[in-house]
Every structure is written in structure tokens, then in C-alpha cells.
Amino acid sequence: MNEIRPPRHPEKAHRPDNPVPRKPEWIRVKAPTSPEYHETRRLMRRLNLATVCEEAACPNIGECWKQKHATVMILGSVCTRACAFCNVATGRPDQLDPHEPEHVAEAVAELGLRHVVVTSVDRDDLEDGGAMQFVRVIEALRARAPATTIEILTPDFLKKPGAIEMVVAARPDVFNHNLETVPRLYPSIRPGARYFHSLRLLARVKEIDPSIFTKSGLMVGLGESDGEVHQVMDDLRSAEVDFLTIGQYLQPTPKHAAIERFVTPAAFAELERMAYGKGFLMVSASPLTRSSHHAGEDFARLRAARQARSDAAD
């Protein structure tokens, strides 16, 4: 019997279509076909796990899953927010799966990951925003795969007092929270979020535990100006964020926010140069940069960059 699935984006159904433009030649990616891709997919289905790679229709999935680098999405696959750029389904969220933490740990052990990125949907319906499930996942990973370093990419925990502190106390190696866009575009692109709250979250992580690396990401192509991007870089540095990622926004469907521009590889290189000039320890800026792309290699470089900076200060 065919399963009847609810529409992924019911809140966007009434919107006029924004035609999806053809991608420039520097954004072409290959369709995922490798045996490792199919193996990773089967493993995720067997353990009933969602991945942001699939849910967000990430263009890098063929490359990442060939190396078995998948980013697990916890707290179910349905989000309580409805951001204009995001392909994750919106609606009434799933019941929390009590086996999720052990399943994430099992997947990481089976994939043999040295570094894992765990993200989630937004769960405004839960009293702690899902913070405790992040803690349980981190604990399960530490128990099952103690050598694996852990990066979390969290929602903003808006109006969830104590949530950030709870997650920081579990001591992930990297705490990532994406600002996604410039403050002027928040009302249309991230309507449920608040720019200064997200910035404050990142600053708060560092205040509580300066040893945790902090990371944030931006998309370009949503209508921001370069000047606004530079301002966000300054804001992130004032929150002592270590690592900045910048990638091209790609429009998942005609109902999503329109692509306002394709930023060239040369312009990305210029953004990267500018960001390093502002003092980030690490910057990744390219058309296909995503926060979890090459996260393992980047983590090793991040650690080395911190060590080099501290050696230079001695």
C-alpha cells in the first residue's frame, strides 16, 4: 500500500512561484550513485535516522556519502519553523524517539566516523527545545565511540531558558549555530528567529566554556549586500566565533525564497580573505560550502590553528 505523505511545506503552498534559475557551471554536482552512498542510506533507514543531507536536499550528498560522511538530524524529521530557504518538512513534529541516542551512536560506530556532526529540526513545542536529547546523544556517542569528536549544529533555543547551558555542559567539541543570513532579511527568511538572540547564543557558549570551538554559517544569494555580510562577520567576531562558513543559497523548490544572485568563486575567495582579516581561526567560503561539508578535516585544521595562535602569543 502506498503511504500518503503530508505536503512538506503546507505553509508555502499559497505563495507565488519563484522560478528556479539554472545553476552556473561552477555549481554542477554529480548524482549520487556510489555503493557507499547506498550503504549509508540503508544504514540510516535501518536505524530509523533522518539526515540533513537528504532532508535539506544537499548538493554534496554524492561526495559526502561516498566517504560515509553523513550528518544526522535528531528530534525527528519535521520542523516547527518554516524558514523560507529550508527544504526540511514543516508541520506537527514526531514523538521523541527514546532510542535515537543509541541509534546515532550505533550509526557513527558502524560508519567509523572520526568526527560526527549532529544537527536537529527546531522543536519549539518541547519545553527545553530538544536540548536534553542533544545531551543524551552526546553521552551515547562518548560511551560508544569515545575517540570520535563531536560537532553539534543546534537550533536557536529561543525562549527555552537553560537549554544552551545544558548542552554546553555536555561538552561537545564544536558548537555550531548558523546565523544563515543578514539581520535585515530575518523577517522574510528566518521569520521565527531573532538575529541578536542567535548571536547571543554563540557568545554565551564561549562565556560558559571557552575551550569549545564555536562555528557559524551564512548563505549568500538571498538578497544581502556585501557590506551586510561584512557587518555579520564583525558581529560574529564580537561573539568570539572561531569558524565561519559561507556558501551559495540554492533554492529547493519554486515555493522557496528566490535566488537573488549567484556569487562567483572569485567573490567567495574575496569573502574568505576578508573574514580571515577579521580574525576568524578558520573560514570556508565557496559555492558548495555547507556547515557540515568536510567538517572532519576542518576540525583538525581548526585545532591546529588554535594551537598555532596560542604558540605565537607565548
> Which run of H or E residues covers position 79?
strand 78-79
90: which strand partners?
A: 79
Interface with ligand SF4 includes 293 (CB under 6 A)? yes
Q: Select the residue interacting with ligand SF4 from 44, 50, 61, 283 (CB under 6 A).
A: 61
For ligand SF4, which is the closer residue by CB, 64 or 283?
A: 64
Interface with ligand SF4 includes 215 (CB under 6 A)? no
For ligand SF4, which is the closer residue by CB, 217 or 223?
A: 217
- How many whole angstroms separate alpha carbon 121 and alpha carbon 86? 11
Candidates 3-11, 64-72, 86-94, 303-311: pick the segment binding ligand SF4 (CB under 6 A).
Answer: 64-72
Q: Select the residue interacting with ligand SF4 from 69, 81, 103, 123 (CB under 6 A).
A: 69
Q: How many amino acids of this chain bind ligand SF4 (CB under 6 A)?
A: 11
Candidates 18-26, 63-71, 154-162, 188-196: pick the segment binding ligand SF4 (CB under 6 A).
Answer: 63-71
For ligand SF4, which is the closer residue by CB, 41 or 184?
A: 41
For ligand SF4, which is the closer residue by CB, 55 or 224?
A: 55
- How many whole angstroms separate alpha carbon 291 and alpha carbon 296? 11
Q: Select the residue interacting with ligand SF4 from 49, 50, 52, 250 (CB under 6 A).
A: 52
Is residue 314 within 8 A of residue 305, CB to CB? The reply is: no
Joined together, the cell numbers standing for residue 106 give: 550505533
DSSP-H helix ranges across 67-220: 100-111, 131-144, 163-169, 186-189, 195-208
CB of 183 vs ligand SF4, minimal distance in Å: 25
Joined together, the cell numbers standing for residue 277 give: 582579516
Q: Helix, strand or coil for residue 151? A: strand
Q: Select the residue interacting with ligand SF4 from 44, 49, 50, 64 (CB under 6 A).
A: 64
Interface with ligand SF4 includes 206 (CB under 6 A)? no
Q: Helix, strand or coil for residue 164? A: helix
CB of 119 vs ligand SF4, minimal distance in Å: 8
Candidates 8-16, 255-263, 264-272, 286-294: pick the segment binding ligand SF4 (CB under 6 A).
Answer: 286-294
Residue in 178, 182, 132 with CA at minimum distance from that of residue 155: 178
Candidates 132-140, 181-189, 194-202, 287-295: pick the segment binding ligand SF4 (CB under 6 A).
Answer: 287-295
Joined together, the cell numbers standing for residue 119 give: 544537527
Residue in 249, 273, 301 with CA at minimum distance from that of residue 18: 249
For ligand SF4, which is the closer residue by CB, 256 or 290?
A: 290
Q: Please give the single-letter amino acid code of residue 93.
A: P
For ligand SF4, which is the closer residue by CB, 65 or 195?
A: 65
CB of 58 vs ligand SF4, minimal distance in Å: 3
- How many whole angstroms separate alpha carbon 119 and alpha carbon 58? 14
3-state secondary structure 241-308: CCEEEEEECCCCCCCCCCCCCCCCHHHHHHHHHHHHHCCCCEEEECCCCCCCCCHHHHHHHHHHHHHH
Binding site for ligand SF4 (CB under 6 A): 52-53, 58, 60-61, 64, 69, 71, 290, 292-293
